[in-house]
Amino acid sequence: MNLNSATVLDPVFQFLHGIIAEYGVYLFLAIFWLSVGCWPGYSAAGCAGNSPLNRTSGRHRHIIQPHTPPIPPMPTLIHEYEPPDDGMD
């Protein structure tokens, strides 16, 4: 009995080669559209905590909120002081 992995797996590789040679384009399109269908699930991963299978026993959940820096104050406008004209010059 020959247990060489290349010899043992040769029929599997021949089968896969035949399937891909015959239906490769259709397999590619099917896998592509299935992956496009999964994108909303990946982007909605934040909603996974709302599923009934993922409930916690308590109602207290820790929410981490990023710290936003305070709004900087408005810049002070500097202008030349003009003394009032009182006629004493």
pTM here is 0.39
Q: How far apart are CA 26 and CA 32, in angstroms?
A: 10
**Helix, strand, coil share (%) of the chain residues, nearest 5:** 55, 0, 45
Q: Where are the domains of the chain?
A: 5-43
Percent of the chain with pLDDT over 90: 28
Which residues of the chain form beta strands (DSSP E)? none
* pLDDT tens-place string over residues 34-73: 988 888 777 766 555 555 555 555 555 667 777 888 888 8
